[in-house]
Chains A and B, each alone.
Chain A
């Protein structure tokens, strides 16, 4: 079991460019969560899928951010027209029905 896999580990984009982050949850886990972590804001909830269906995206900035889960083996977080304030570590987690979250190593996004 490789755990939750996130790619890339690091991504550097220029202001205005698009960034796509990938997450492969643990096989058999029904829920996938996306979080963003910065020193100032801590760990912020972005969005959540259960059985591939979007359940709660209340933490997603309404413009420029979107998340998909086209199949049970991966989810993507896309940020259009990236801005310096989007710089953060983006963390993906998956869970079984008992709710224990298992986190990936994260993607560190730097927007220049």
Chain B
């Protein structure tokens, strides 16, 4: 079964709106990461967040390991935020990093 479930699968926002992306994990995990995939395909690490809350500019990541979930909050969205957001987990007991299917975000003017 799928170990990493992301929601929503897609999201359309108007510029300036906020977004909350979710990741849920079906197994115990050591850590998790959030990535942004640009429309042309390149992947950029946003957060390595084993637990707790981290903020970088308009982005905030919160991971609750015990509850096997993580969220990514985007405030005051901009057109350039459009792309795919992926979460990934490192499973407990191993180093394999498994990805969710992503959230496709489109921010329109």
Contacts and interface: CB of A to CB of B under 8 A. Distances in A.
Contacts of A55: 95
Interface string A75-112: 00000000000000101010000111111011000000
B48 A43 contact: no
A99 B48 contact: yes
- Secondary structure at the A interface, as helix, strand, loop or mixed, is strand
B95 A45 contact: no
Contact of A56 (B33, B45, B94): B94
Interface residues of B, number: 22
B7 interface: no
A100 B48 contact: yes
A60 B84 CA distance: 25
B21 to A, nearest CB: 15
A42 B102 contact: yes
A50 interface: yes
Nearest to A89: B41
Of B43, B95, B96, B101, most buried by chain A (CB within 10 Å of CB) is B43
A31 B95 CA distance: 9
A105 B41 contact: yes
Interface in A42-63: 42-43, 45, 48, 50, 55-56, 58
Contacts of A89: 41
A48 B42 contact: no
A33 B41 contact: no
